[in-house]
Chains A and B, each alone.
Chain A
Amino acid sequence: MDFNATLFGQSIAMIVFVWFCMKFVWPVLMGMIEERQTQIADGLAAAEKGARSLELADVEKARVLGAARGQAREIIDQANTRAHGIVDEARTSADQERERILAAAQAEVGQEVNRAREELRGQVAAIAMAGAEKIISREINVTTHQALLDKLAAEI
């Protein structure tokens, strides 16, 4: 084994070959590697984003649910109030109706009493007139004493 120019030739060829690999082979491999890195990084980022939006959706869900629950309570409260209002109103109107009917009945009774009294008064006057007429028919003229009798009847 001895050294000669072969070593130079091979070394020059090796340098050219290494240059070739740097220029054409290495970038291809690096491209593959970097593409893979980007894909993985993108995938992880997308997963992260998905997880975060899920979290946000959970928060939103809780918010919407709370709001709906509050609204439902409000509606129930309103309905209760309304129901009480209706019952009260009905009671009030029923009371008024009762009083009106009562008043009407009393007024009717009063009228009835007045009418009966008026009738009675007329009848008393007539009875008194008949009695007095019978008692004093002979000496007292009906027509002369009519004013006196009317006065008497009004006093009853």
Chain B
Amino acid sequence: MSSTGTEKTSAEYIQHHLQNLQVCQNDAGDWVWNHCAGNFWTINVDSMVFSVVIALFLGWLFSRVAKHATTGKPGKLQAFVEIILEFVNGSVNDTFHGKNKLIAPLALTIVVWVFMMNLMDLIPVDWLPGVAHLAGVEYLKVVPTTDPNITFAMSLSIFVLIIFYSLKVKGIGGFASELTMQPLSPKDLGVPKLLWPVVMTFNLVLETVAMLAKPLSLSLRLFGNMYAGELMFILIALLFGSIFSGIAGAFMGVGGVILHVVWAIFHILIVTLQAYIFMILTIVYLSQAHEHH
């Protein structure tokens, strides 16, 4: 791959692929595309479009299956949806023992949505951006979960739910004591009343860190895995550049095909696993929010 003319260097190719399609309002008040560095009020249009389209597709698919559902022998699609549903319901029942009508539907939504967003990673990295290029769109990232905005949006929503249910189930006093009376209980330590605030402050710092680590780890884990996977596909794609230039290039091309296939097969596991982990941890965190100590 040469860096002359319209061709890009490898670094440019990679950077181009990691750039979201962004829209924002500049200082002059005009809406502009892709000149949004440092502006918080920027929308990553590609992440939004793909995640929302996937969500709409899943909603349409599941509601269609639900409408046509039969109590007799199910069709193949219904059987598949039932398998997913039973799996999610089983996971929720294994982990969560409280009474909450939200958790199972939430877990189902998370697992199928994250799975489908991750699955976009298996589409070759140049296909959709290539089509977008023909349509005049310069940048396009097709995997919403490689955008930290998307993963953080999900994990922060779950964080809000954790706080909400902690307050609802334990009350303000219960939640406050959970944050301040453990892991070091001043009562069990036998410290004088005067020193209790010291222990409680120490606990509060520990518990706050633990609390904030939940959404942070949840979103960063998903983002990191998918971003790394995406990057691997982009790096492998670089091998194809010289496929027609000599024997060495041809070898690299063949090697690239093999690597791509192997990585894609491995990615089936990662895609599924990350969706599953996100779902399970959501259930675990919410069930912790429902537990009394």
A: residues with CB less than 8 A from B are 1-14, 16-17, 20-21, 25, 29-30, 32-34, 36-37, 40-41, 44
Q: Which residues of B contact A17 (CB under 8 A)?
A: 122, 260-261, 264-265
B242 within 8 A of A: yes
Residues of B within 8 A of A37 (CB): 73-74, 76, 79
Task: Flag if B268 contacts A25 (CB, 8 Å).
Answer: yes
A-B contact number at CB 8 A: 96
With contacts A11-B124, A20-B265 taken as known, whether A41 is within 8 angstroms of B73 at the C-beta atoms is: yes
Chain A residue nearest to B234 in the complex (CB): A6
Q: Which residue of B lies closest to A17 (CB)?
A: B264
Chain A to chain B: the 4 pairs with minimum beta-carbon distance, closest first: A9-B240, A13-B260, A10-B124, A1-B133
CA distance A21 to B237 in the complex (A): 20
Q: Is B129 an interface residue (CB 8 A)?
A: yes
* B174 within 8 A of partner (CB): no
Question: On chain B, which size bracket covers the interface?
Answer: 35 or more
Which B residues are CB-close (under 8 A) to A29?
80
Query: Which of B74, B83, B130, B264 contacts A13, CB < 8 Å?
Result: B264
Complex Cα–Cα for A24 and B133 (A): 34
Cβ of B6 within 8 Å of any chain A Cβ, yes or no, is yes
Chain A CB within 8 A of B154 CB = no
- Encode contact with A along B250-266: 1 for CB under 8 Å, 0 otherwise: 00010011001100110
Nearest Cβ in chain A — how far from B16, in angstroms?
A: 7
Give A20 to B239 CA distance when docked, in angstroms.
Answer: 21
What is the CB-to-nearest-CB distance from A12 to chain B, in angstroms, rounded to a whole number? 5
- A9 engages B264 (CB within 8 Å): no
Q: Are B138 and A10 interface neighbours, CB within 8 A?
A: no
The answer on a CB contact under 8 Å between A33 and B260 is: no
**Which chain A positions have C-beta within 8 A of B116?**
none
CA distance A10 to B124 in the complex (A): 6
- Residues of chain A within 8 A (CB-CB) of B253 are 5, 9
Give the distance in Å from the alpha carbon of A21 to the alpha carbon of B256 in the complex: 19
Taking A16-B257, A37-B76 as given, write out 11 further A-B residue pairs in contact, using a Cβ cutoff of 8 Å, ordered by the A residue number. Answer: A1-B16, A1-B133, A1-B138, A2-B6, A4-B7, A7-B240, A8-B243, A10-B126, A13-B236, A14-B123, A14-B124
Given contacts A14-B124, A40-B74, A44-B73, contact A1 B130 (CB under 8 A): yes
What is the chain B residue whose CB lies nearest that of A41? Answer: B73
Query: What are 24 residue pairs bridging A and B, where the CB atoms are less than 8 Å apart in the complex?
Result: A1-B130, A3-B130, A4-B241, A5-B241, A5-B244, A6-B238, A7-B124, A8-B243, A9-B256, A9-B257, A9-B260, A10-B124, A10-B125, A10-B127, A10-B237, A10-B240, A11-B127, A16-B257, A17-B261, A17-B265, A29-B80, A30-B76, A34-B76, A40-B73
- For the complex, give the distance between the alpha carbons of A37 and B73 in Å: 6
Q: Could you tell me if A13 and B124 are in contact, using CB atoms closer than 8 angstroms?
A: yes
Which among B123, B124, B256 has the highest number of chain A CB atoms within 10 Å? B124
Task: Say yes or no: B240 contacts A33, CB within 8 Å.
Answer: no
Closest to B6 in A: A2
B240 — nearest CB in chain A belongs to which residue?
A: A9
